[in-house]
Amino acid sequence: MSYPYQIKTLEGYKKDYETSIKNPDSFWGNIAETFTWKKKWDKVLEWNFKEPSIKWFQGGKLNITENCLDRHLEKNGNTPAIIWESNDPDEHHRVLTYKELHFKVVQFANVLKNNGVKKGDRVCVYMGMIPELAIATLACARIGAIHSVIFGGFSAQAIADRLEDAQAEFIVTCDGAYRAAKDIPLKSVIDDALVGNKTIKRVIVCTRTRTPVSMIKGRDVWWEDEIKKVETLGNPDCPAETMDAEDVLFILYTSGSTGKPKGVVHTTAGYMVWANYTFVNVFQYQQGQVHFCTADIGWITGHSYIVYGPLSAGGTTLLFEGVPTWPDAGRFWDVVDKFKVNILYTAPTAIRSLMGFGLEYLKGKDLSSLKVLGSVGEPINEEAWHWYDKNIGKGNCPIVDTWWQTETGGMMISNMANVTPSKPSFATLPLPGVEPCLVDEAGNELLGNNVSGNLCIKSPWPGIIRTTYGDHERCRQTYFSTYENKYFTGDGCLRDEDGNYRITGRVDDVLNVSGHRIGTAELENAINMHAGVIESAIVGYPHDVKGQGIYAYVIFDETHGDPNLSKQDIIQTVTRIIGAIAKPDKIQFVPGLPKTRSGKIMRRILRKIAEGDVTNLGDTSTLLDPSLVDIIKDGRI
């Protein structure tokens, strides 16, 4: 497959960038022409950020799986689509060619249909990183069902909330998932999530770990049995459902600064074009290359750069079940060596963690196949950037630092490998179609260079969030109301003298822990559910490996029991309500929280104390009880 819209030079980038902003209709229309449509669109773009209402390729009809699978069959049917590496280095890897993947997707699409799944139904997918996870999501897309993948680390309660919000009727899961030396009982977590659930009609369970599971009559069925049923029907085909360009493709839940996680909605055509365009351009993907994105499909990075980006480009995507540090900290390098990986896309937290293990795990590993390295999810510090560059890229591989979000569908600000220059710890320049701007608190745009402010985007790109599921007003309020006529990212950012962007981190109450977004309000709610907790406040603090650690200030009812044991219980409560990813790193019991006279918690002070910066706490005169600050300072962990 060739990519006529792949930019080759800095000049080409400048030219395309300008055209994309001046004339988005013809720019994106030309790119969209290269995809497979059942019916061409009537209008490329119609939008306003007021409602918001954003429509790309209106009137167009298509199915994303025809673009990810069918269109490659004739010329590239025998090209590996998915290479799967097990958690267990001794288990044989699997390769699915485009022909095989197409067959399996179609087969499972028929399973879904046979189980009553129809266009528009919500299907929750809660699985480990096995090919069947990609197959299940693509099978949903094949028949027009809306997938909502939930990361395997979320708890039963977190799943229950998402099922309820999405009004999901179907679940695809596994008996269990392997993760390092552990076996996580996914089906059992689903069973807990389903206590009291009234919408789920069917749970399809794929075998992975053979851990014992309870199968409920009339509700639960085995993946493998259902496959046999469709085999006996003898019709291996499943025509791709005709989808409108703006039909929902998937919902993906993400944390915000208030309340429960929200269901970010992406639609079909714009998302497809954006995932593909950014994949092809940022990584400079060449047909035949092996692309290894280490994220989980449960996050947006996995959706866009394990599944939809690479497959829509006819590429070879590596799906890895394991973790970077098991059986030892050389596992990524073994995988790169074994499959001659060309593009490695990972998170700064993984790089920092592997850095800490030292260079001996790199000994004897042939990394010479690597051509491009990528970073995503959080700011990459210069030390990690240089380590990645020197020890993994051997100074020969450009590092693309890709800034984007669940809501943006794909990369937004990033250098492009060997096309635009990199600058350590800078995401650098906006991709074509992306019009960033920095604003001050009052919403004034900060013009010129050498400025910092809140990062907004001025016009829609094809992959932009369309709504938050079931609550459009929440979408408007969160992203489109802070600054008039702009999409607000929630990130702080600076623009240097050359116009390069450097993301400085969230400016709202969202933490970024190991590249995972955690809402402080959501976490406080979880902690407050513990019987002995009166009130709590969460802040982030710099953490060497995770980027940000979680610091919890908790007012604890001392009559409730041994405070040390209680800390463990609080952690357990968080694990139950959200999942292990949200566990606080530090818990400090405090007699009270510093509040203003109007009752607002002064997080600025708590943040400073957590960061260890206790000499300059700023103005504390507005506090209800200034003496609390000294007590909290003295008790700092």
Interaction between residue 377 and ligand PRX (CB under 6 A): yes
Task: Provide the residue type at 9 as one letter.
Answer: T
CB of 402 to ligand PRX, least distance (A): 5
Gap between the Cα atoms of 479 and 468, Å rounded = 10
Q: Who's near 504: CB < 8 A, 6+ residues apart?
A: 379, 452, 491, 492, 493, 494
Interaction between residue 301 and ligand PRX (CB under 6 A): yes
Interaction between residue 274 and ligand PRX (CB under 6 A): no
Interaction between residue 403 and ligand PRX (CB under 6 A): yes
Interaction between residue 342 and ligand PRX (CB under 6 A): no
Whether residue 230 contacts residue 204, with contact meaning beta carbons closer than 8 Å, is answered with no
CB of 160 to ligand PRX, least distance (A): 21
CB of 442 to ligand PRX, least distance (A): 22
List, in sequence order, every beta strand (DSSP E) within 508-620.
510-513, 516-519, 533-543, 547-556, 586-589
Gap between the Cα atoms of 160 and 124, Å rounded = 11
Stretch that binds ligand PRX, among 191-199, 403-411, 583-591, 601-609 (CB under 6 A): 403-411
Cβ closest to ligand PRX, residue 147 vs residue 208? 147
Interaction between residue 512 and ligand PRX (CB under 6 A): yes
CB-count exposure of residue 36 (10 Å: 0-12, 13-18, 19+): middle
Of 281, 405, 467, 536, the residue at the interface with ligand PRX (CB under 6 A) is: 405
Interaction between residue 349 and ligand PRX (CB under 6 A): no
CB of 502 to ligand PRX, least distance (A): 8
Gap between the Cα atoms of 607 and 213, Å rounded = 44
Interaction between residue 300 and ligand PRX (CB under 6 A): yes
Of 491, 509, 522, 524, the residue at the interface with ligand PRX (CB under 6 A) is: 491
Interaction between residue 503 and ligand PRX (CB under 6 A): yes
Cβ closest to ligand PRX, residue 370 vs residue 465? 465
* Interface characters, 551-570, with ligand PRX (x: CB under 6 A): --------------------
- The helix/strand/coil state of 52 is coil
Report which residue's Cβ sits closest to ligand PRX: 406
Gap between the Cα atoms of 440 and 73, Å rounded = 51
Interaction between residue 346 and ligand PRX (CB under 6 A): no
Interaction between residue 376 and ligand PRX (CB under 6 A): yes
Q: Who's near 183: CB < 8 A, 6+ residues apart?
A: 176, 177, 209, 211
Closest alpha carbon to 316 in 64, 525, 499, 134? 134
Interaction between residue 266 and ligand PRX (CB under 6 A): no
CB of 510 to ligand PRX, least distance (A): 8
Whether residue 95 contacts residue 81, with contact meaning beta carbons closer than 8 Å, is answered with no
Whether residue 549 contacts residue 582, with contact meaning beta carbons closer than 8 Å, is answered with no
- The helix/strand/coil state of 374 is strand
Angle at 127 between CA 125 and CA 130, to 5 degrees: 120
Gap between the Cα atoms of 495 and 445, Å rounded = 13
Of 321, 378, 389, 509, the residue at the interface with ligand PRX (CB under 6 A) is: 378
CB of 490 to ligand PRX, least distance (A): 6
DSSP state of 380: P
Whether residue 335 contacts residue 320, with contact meaning beta carbons closer than 8 Å, is answered with yes
Q: Dihedrals φ, ψ of 294, to 5°?
A: -90, 5
Of 24, 330, 379, 453, the residue at the interface with ligand PRX (CB under 6 A) is: 379
Interaction between residue 254 and ligand PRX (CB under 6 A): yes
CB of 280 to ligand PRX, least distance (A): 18
Whether residue 135 contacts residue 172, with contact meaning beta carbons closer than 8 Å, is answered with no
CB of 403 to ligand PRX, least distance (A): 4
Stretch that binds ligand PRX, among 27-35, 270-278, 398-406, 560-568 (CB under 6 A): 398-406
Gap between the Cα atoms of 445 and 67, Å rounded = 39
Cβ closest to ligand PRX, residue 443 vs residue 492? 492
Binding residue count for ligand PRX, defined by CB under 6 A: 22
Of 155, 157, 267, 402, the residue at the interface with ligand PRX (CB under 6 A) is: 402
Cβ closest to ligand PRX, residue 400 vs residue 593? 400
Of 97, 209, 349, 406, the residue at the interface with ligand PRX (CB under 6 A) is: 406
Tokens of 634: 């003295």
Distances (CA, A) of 270 to 32, 274, 285, 533, 567: 9, 6, 20, 46, 46
Cβ closest to ligand PRX, residue 97 vs residue 414? 414
Gap between the Cα atoms of 222 and 203, Å rounded = 8
Of 256, 330, 453, 490, the residue at the interface with ligand PRX (CB under 6 A) is: 490
Closest alpha carbon to 4 in 432, 313, 269, 464? 313
Tokens of 227: 């496959």
Interaction between residue 317 and ligand PRX (CB under 6 A): no
State the residues that interact with ligand PRX by CB under 6 A.
254, 300-301, 375-379, 401-406, 427, 489-491, 503, 506, 512, 517
